[in-house]
Amino acid sequence: MSLSIIDVSIAFGERTVLDRESLHVPTGSILAVVGASGSGKTTLLRIVAGLERPDHGRIEIDGDDVTKWPTHRRRVGLVFQDNQLFPHLDVADNVAFGLRTAGWTRPDVTKRVAELLDAVGLSDRRDQSIATLSGGEAKRVALARTLAPMPRIVLLDEPFAGLDDDRRLHLAEVVRHMLQGSGTTALLVSHDRSDVEAVADGIHRLGTHDAITVLSVPVETIRPLRREVLRAGMANQSVEFDGDDDLDTFHLAAFDTTGRVLATSTWLRRDLSSAPGRNAFQLRGMATATDHQSRGLGARLIDEGLTRLETRQVDVVWANARDAALDFYRRMNFQVHGDGFVESVTGLPHHVVMRSMSGRAGDISS
Amino acid sequence: MAHHRLVSLRQTAPWSSRFAPLPSAFLVVAVVIVPLIVLVVETVDDPWSVWSRPGVTGAVWFSIWQGALSTFITLAVGLVPTWILARFPVRGRPILMAVFTAPFVLPTVVVGAAFLALLPTSLDRSLVAILLAHVFFNVSVVVRTVLPVWRSMDENLLAAARTLGADPLKVWRGVTWPLLRPAILSAASLVFVMCATSYGVIRVLGSGWSTVDVEIYRRAVALGDVSGAAVLAAVQALVVITALTMWSRRSSEWAVLSTTIPTRRRRLALEVLVWIIGLAFLVPIAALAATSLRSSTGWSLAGWRNLFGLTESRLPDTKIVEAVTNSAVYAVVAAGIAVPTGLSLARSAARRPRRWLTAIVDAPIGVSAVAVGLGILITYDVDPIDVRASWWLVPVVHASVALPFVVRSAVPLIRSIPSGLGEAAATLGASPWRRWVHVELPLLRPAVTAASAFSLAMSLGEFGATSFLTRRDTTTLPILVESLLSRPGSLSVMTGSATAVLLLVVTGGLVVLVDRRTPT
One-letter amino acid at A183 equals: G
Tell me the shortest Cα–Cα distance from A194 to chain B, in angstroms.
19
Angle between helices B369-379 and B393-415 (to 10 degrees): 130
User: Residue B83: which CATH number?
Assistant: 1.10.3720.10
Kindly identify which residue of chain A lies nearest to residue B445, measuring between CA atoms. A88
Which sign, positive or negative, has the C-alpha torsion B403, B404, B408, B411? positive
pLDDT tens for each residue of B140-163 = 989 988 888 888 776 667 666 676
How far is residue A71's CA from residue B422's CA, in Å, rounded to a whole number? 11
Confidence grade of residue A110 (pLDDT, cut at 50, 70, 90) = very high
Q: In terms of Cα–Cα distance, which of B406, B505, B512 is closest to B458?
A: B406
| Lateral strand order in the sheet of A250-256 | A212-217, A250-256, A261-269, A280-287, A316-321, A349-356, A335-343
Q: What pLDDT was estimated at residue A113? A: 95
Q: Strand pairing of A280-287 and A316-321?
A: parallel
B431 in reach of chain A (CB within 8 A): yes
List b or e across B10-48, with b for residues whose CB sees 16 or more CB atoms inside 10 angstroms: ebbbeebeeebbebbbebbeebbbebbbbbbeebbeeee
- Reported ipTM: the value is 0.74
| Residue B4 pLDDT greater than 50, yes or no | no
**Residue B157 maps to a domain:** yes
**What are the residues whose beta carbons fall under 8 Å from the beta carbon of A220, sequence distance 6 or more?**
none
Q: In terms of Cα–Cα distance, which of A45, A48, A67, A42 is closest to A56?
A: A67
Confidence grade of residue B48 (pLDDT, cut at 50, 70, 90) = confident
Q: Do A86 and B439 touch (CB under 8 A)?
A: yes
Q: What pLDDT was estimated at residue A364? A: 44
| Residue A366 pLDDT greater than 60, yes or no | no
Of A17, A51, A149, the CB nearest to B428: A149
Q: What is the full DSSP assignment across A156-208? A: EESTTTT--HHHHHHHHHHHHHHHHHTT-EEEEEES-HHHHTTT-SEEEETTS
In chain A, which residues have their Cβ closer than 8 Å to the Cβ of B428?
72, 77, 97-98, 101, 145-146, 149
How far is residue A201's CA from residue A25's CA, in Å, rounded to a whole number? 10
pLDDT tens for each residue of A281-309 = 889 888 777 666 666 788 888 888 888 88
Lowest-pLDDT range of B45-59, B146-160, B327-341: B146-160
Contacts by residues B116-123 (CB-CB < 8 Å, ≥ 24 positions apart): B116/B204, B116/B205, B116/B485, B117/B284, B117/B287, B117/B288, B117/B290, B117/B291, B117/B497, B118/B283, B118/B284, B118/B287, B118/B288
**Residue B417 maps to a domain:** yes
pLDDT tens for each residue of A40-68 = 899 999 999 988 889 999 999 998 999 99
In B308-392, alpha helices (H): 320-351, 355-366, 369-379
| Lateral strand order in the sheet of A76-79 | A76-79, A153-157, A185-190, A30-34, A202-205
Q: What pLDDT was estimated at residue B519? A: 46
Residue B196 Cα distances to B108, B181, B190, B250, angstroms:
14, 22, 10, 20
Contacts by residues B44-50 (CB-CB < 8 Å, ≥ 24 positions apart): B44/B227, B44/B230, B44/B231, B45/B227, B46/B227, B47/B231, B50/B225, B50/B227, B50/B228, B50/B231, B50/B232
Partnered with residue B152 across adjacent β-strands are none
Of B10, B421, B431, the CB nearest to A86: B421
Tell me the shortest Cα–Cα distance from A71 to chain B, in angstroms.
6
pLDDT tens for each residue of B55-104 = 888 889 999 999 999 999 999 999 999 999 988 888 888 888 888 988 88
In chain B, which residues have their Cβ closer than 8 Å to the Cβ of A41?
1
How far is residue A139's CA from residue A164's CA, in Å, rounded to a whole number? 13
Q: Do A149 and B429 touch (CB under 8 A)?
A: yes
Q: In terms of Cα–Cα distance, which of B189, B197, B203, B202 is closest to B237?
A: B197
CB pairs under 8 A between A and B: 93
Q: Do A78 and B430 touch (CB under 8 A)?
A: no
- Give the 3-state DSSP-derived string for B376-428, with helices as H, strands as E and coil as C: HHHHCCCHHHCCCCCCCHHHHHHHHHHHHHHHHHHHHHHHCCCCCHHHHHHHC
How far is residue A62's CA from residue A53's CA, in Å, rounded to a whole number? 19
- Residue B86 exposure: Cα atoms within 13 Å on the Cβ side: 22
**Residue B150 maps to a domain:** yes
Q: Do B427 and A86 touch (CB under 8 A)?
A: no
| Residue A114 pLDDT greater than 50, yes or no | yes
Phi/psi at A267 (nearest 5 deg)?
-115, 115
In chain B, which residues have their Cβ closer than 8 Å to the Cβ of A49?
423, 426-427
φ/ψ region of A163 (left if φ > 0, alpha if ψ in -120 to 50, else beta) reads beta
Instruction: Give the domain range for residue B365.
Output: 4-257+267-517
Q: Do A87 and B1 touch (CB under 8 A)?
A: no
Q: Do A38 and B3 touch (CB under 8 A)?
A: yes
**Across all residues in chain A, what is the average pLDDT?**
84
B472 in reach of chain A (CB within 8 A): no
How far is residue A141's CA from residue A79's CA, in Å, rounded to a whole number? 10
B448 in reach of chain A (CB within 8 A): no
Q: Do B427 and A77 touch (CB under 8 A)?
A: yes
The torsion defined by the Cα of B33, B37, B43 and B44, in degrees rounded to 10, comes to 130
Q: In the 8-state DSSP scheme, what is residue A27?
A: T
pLDDT tens for each residue of B271-323 = 999 999 999 999 999 988 888 888 777 788 888 887 777 666 566 566 777 88
How far is residue B152's CA from residue B395's CA, in Å, rounded to a whole number? 38
Q: What pLDDT was estimated at residue A361? A: 41
- Find out whether B496 and B508 touch, Cβ atoms under 8 Å: no
Of A43, A78, A86, the CB nearest to B3: A43
Q: Do A51 and B8 touch (CB under 8 A)?
A: yes
Residue B339 Cα distances to B40, B367, B455, B508, angstroms:
30, 21, 7, 19
Tell me the shortest Cα–Cα distance from B421 to chain A, in angstroms.
6
Kindly identify which residue of chain B lies nearest to residue A15, measuring between CA atoms. B3
Q: Strand pairing of A3-12 and A56-61?
A: antiparallel
Q: Do A101 and B11 touch (CB under 8 A)?
A: no
In chain A, which residues have their Cβ closer than 8 Å to the Cβ of B424?
78, 80, 84-86
**What are the residues whose beta carbons fall under 8 Å from the beta carbon of A14, sequence distance 6 or more?**
none
pLDDT tens for each residue of B442-494 = 888 888 888 898 899 889 988 888 887 877 677 888 888 888 888 777 788 88
Q: How many domains does chain B have?
A: 1
- Find out whether B137 and B194 touch, Cβ atoms under 8 Å: yes
Kindly identify which residue of chain A lies nearest to residue B438, measuring between CA atoms. A97
Residues 381-420 of B with CB under 8 A from A: 417-418, 420
Q: What pLDDT was estimated at residue A365? A: 42
Confidence grade of residue B3 (pLDDT, cut at 50, 70, 90) = very low
In chain B, which residues have their Cβ closer than 8 Å to the Cβ of A72?
425-432
Q: Do A50 and B426 touch (CB under 8 A)?
A: yes
How far is residue A26's CA from residue A17's CA, in Å, rounded to a whole number? 25
B427 in reach of chain A (CB within 8 A): yes
3-class DSSP assignment, residue A331 = helix
Q: What integer is the mean pLDDT of A330-354?
A: 74
Q: In terms of Cα–Cα distance, which of B423, B252, B276, B265 is closest to B342?
A: B252
**Residue B58 maps to a domain:** yes
Of B3, B11, B425, the CB nearest to A97: B425
Q: Do B425 and A43 touch (CB under 8 A)?
A: no
**Residue B165 maps to a domain:** yes
In chain A, which residues have their Cβ closer than 8 Å to the Cβ of B11?
51, 71
Of B224 and B337, the one with more pLDDT: B337
| Residue B251 pLDDT greater than 50, yes or no | no
Partnered with residue A8 across adjacent β-strands are A21
Of A12, A87, A97, the CB nearest to B5: A12
Helix, strand, coil shares, percent, chain A, to 5: 35, 30, 35
Q: What pLDDT was estimated at residue A289? A: 73
Tell me the shortest Cα–Cα distance from B255 to chain A, in angstroms.
20
pLDDT tens for each residue of A137-164 = 999 999 999 999 999 999 999 888 877 8
**Residue B325 maps to a domain:** yes
Q: Suggest the residue from B10, B260, B428 to mutate for an interface test with chain A (most A CBs closer than 10 A).
A: B428
Q: Do B8 and A71 touch (CB under 8 A)?
A: no
Of A364 and B67, the one with more pLDDT: B67
Q: What pLDDT was estimated at residue A8? A: 93
How far is residue B150's CA from residue B147's CA, in Å, rounded to a whole number? 5
Kindly identify which residue of chain A lies nearest to residue B5, measuring between CA atoms. A12
Kindly identify which residue of chain B lies nearest to residue A83, measuring between CA atoms. B424
Residue B246 CB neighbour total at 10 angstroms = 11
Q: Do A51 and B427 touch (CB under 8 A)?
A: yes
**Residue B262 maps to a domain:** no
How far is residue B266's CA from residue B296's CA, in Å, rounded to a whole number? 47
Q: What pLDDT was estimated at residue B9? A: 34
Q: What pLDDT was estimated at residue B62? A: 92
**Residue B118 maps to a domain:** yes
Q: In the 8-state DSSP scheme, what is residue B174?
A: I
Q: What pLDDT was estimated at residue B418? A: 76
